[in-house]
Structure 1
């Protein structure tokens, strides 16, 4: 059970204070509490609806919060609490004692995450995000808010659900913003360390900053992606293939907007109207065995395609892992807008 003081606010709070409380916590909820008595709960959704109805930041939260939230008791088993929450489709369950006083909150994902894995996850979060300016003028791209939280937080939560606990964030541009927000990761049930790129090292070069004693395959992912890829399946596939490196790929269809003419000399043999061509493209998610890490030069600019080319040239085993799950590379303003419009439907938050 988690301590709920950080996400508790009194009933006389303003909407602005509720937003600040939700933002400081990691559970997308604030508890309205007076004298240890739970009066209700307020979420991002409640606040969005209030704004749509004309409420202002300095308005009181009275009438906005749910006064009949689902709660659990401290004498219920963990299995019963999880079942209760799943039945009602919620992820946060305030817990009351026998006298009805609030004593904590259960975050259901804590129980549904997979067993802890020894594998590290490296999230590449050092890019400049030039194509998304002015949004990234003061904010690193992985910290842009999509849905109700930064992109990087959604990625962290996705991995945590599959039992990954050990993370390295490769940082450069506006690194302090990322450090201040995530700190050491303990508030997320994770261990976060930082790879400091003094100079930009590309999509693979920063991996040379990892400790030398890594003995298990690592997963590397760009910090500006949103996806619901099954990371268990990805890792198991890599191990099954006994690969040195595995690259997630997506099918990309390109339609030529003209009739394509097939010729032989001056003679026309046929015309195909607006044909399509299918390709596999790099999805920015990789699994690398320690053997692949040995090919990365020390603190030099080195991109992931260069690493895979080196693997192929040295006759190492490089595999592809096709993904059909939701995947969005947030590189352009229209991608950012689309991700925000789809977020609530794709991610259960």
Structure 2
């Protein structure tokens, strides 16, 4: 590949995790090549390395060396292209650094079919039936997913971002003012996609709406709330789910809550320690999921079920449920100030 393109993936070994994320966004190559000043390869960082670091409690200000993969697979410059492709296919990798005998980085092999250039068979289910009561009066005559951001409905942004990941098949679950959504999108032909509809007679919850799927898809499918705007790569989420052998994956956001007071630890009457304004970090549900079709057997058709309940049923059966930590921009447009933020800063959430 062109020298300038792979050099955009270079990252100094003293950089932070935040700078690694910026490098991945800048190059679009899904890998950061961590080097010393002399271009010697120290290691690599991928999106998965970052997410695993966040799960361990690391913050974006931590040094990249905390998540560095120091022994990545590499190939010498003289290796024939056919052999390189065989290695990449056998190991299911999309990037392969080219390193000479002195550990000097000479380039990067990138698998010719990147995510944006092929069509996925995975279905995407969008929950678009809520009443949006917290967004009144905006939702009195307009379903929440149809509220405009940057000149078009939020739901259009979701469809267009999914298309970037090669997703062409959609199911919209509709209820409140659902006819407006159906009249706008129809069968999806105008957007170059296929759209069908799940029609809820009454609110069933996210899991309950999935029980209305008559013909379960053959592959894991995405589920997203219709009011969630994000820069996440939907294809990355699907690949992560499959790679970890999960039956259900939930995207989560890091949430920090700072205690405004100094906390005193005690043992009976005795003071054992002090902590000034401690921060409690937790993961919160981001409203985006990947579900294996086999999980649908935990649902009763037409019965109410929310997603935490579905995940709980799967865990009770000892079936693997996992989290996908988000570091991308994300906004749940549930309140008027959220809508105002999305309208004022659309580039952050699309």
Please give the TM-score of this superposition, normalised by the length of structure 2: 0.66
1:220 aligns with 2:223: yes
Q: Distance in 1 between matches of 2:205 and 2:155?
A: 18
Equivalent residue in structure 1 for 2:254, among 251, 254, 260: 251
Determine helix, strand or coil for the equivalent of 1:243: coil
Q: Count matched residues.
A: 236
Determine helix, strand or coil for the equivalent of 1:209: coil
Unaligned runs of 5+ in 1: 1-111
Q: Per-residue CA shift, 1:271-302, capped at 9, x if unaligned?
A: 21211010011111000011111111211110
1:281 aligns with 2:311: no
Q: Per-residue CA shift, 1:149-193, capped at 9, x if unaligned?
A: 110000000001111111000000010110111111000001000
Q: Give 1:345 shift.
A: 5.2
Divergent runs of 4+, >6 A: none
Query: What residue number does 1:184 align with?
Result: 187
Q: Per-residue CA shift, 1:101-154, capped at 9, x if unaligned?
A: xxxxxxxxxxx9532211110000001111111111111110111111110000
Aligned alpha-carbon RMSD (Å): 1.3
Equivalent residue in structure 2 for 1:206, among 206, 209, 215: 209
Q: Give 1:346 shift.
A: 5.0
Unaligned runs of 5+ in 2: 1-114
Please give the TM-score of this superposition, normalised by the length of structure 1: 0.66
1:158 aligns with 2:161: yes
1:116 aligns with 2:122: no
Q: Per-residue CA shift, 1:237-259, capped at 9, x if unaligned?
A: 11111111111111111111111
8 Å contact 2:329–2:348 — kept in the other structure?
Answer: no
Query: What residue number does 1:175 align with?
Result: 178
When residues 286 and 313 of structure 1 are mapped into structure 2, their CA distance, relative to the original with a 3 A threshold, is same
Determine helix, strand or coil for the equivalent of 2:232: coil
1:198-347 mapped onto 2 (5 Å cutoff): 198-344=201-347, 346-347=349-350
Q: Give 1:212 shift.
A: 2.8
Q: Give 1:342 shift.
A: 1.2
Query: What residue number does 2:57 align with?
Result: none
Q: Distance in 2 between matches of 1:151 and 1:132?
A: 14
Determine helix, strand or coil for the equivalent of 1:119: strand
Query: What residue number does 1:79 align with?
Result: none
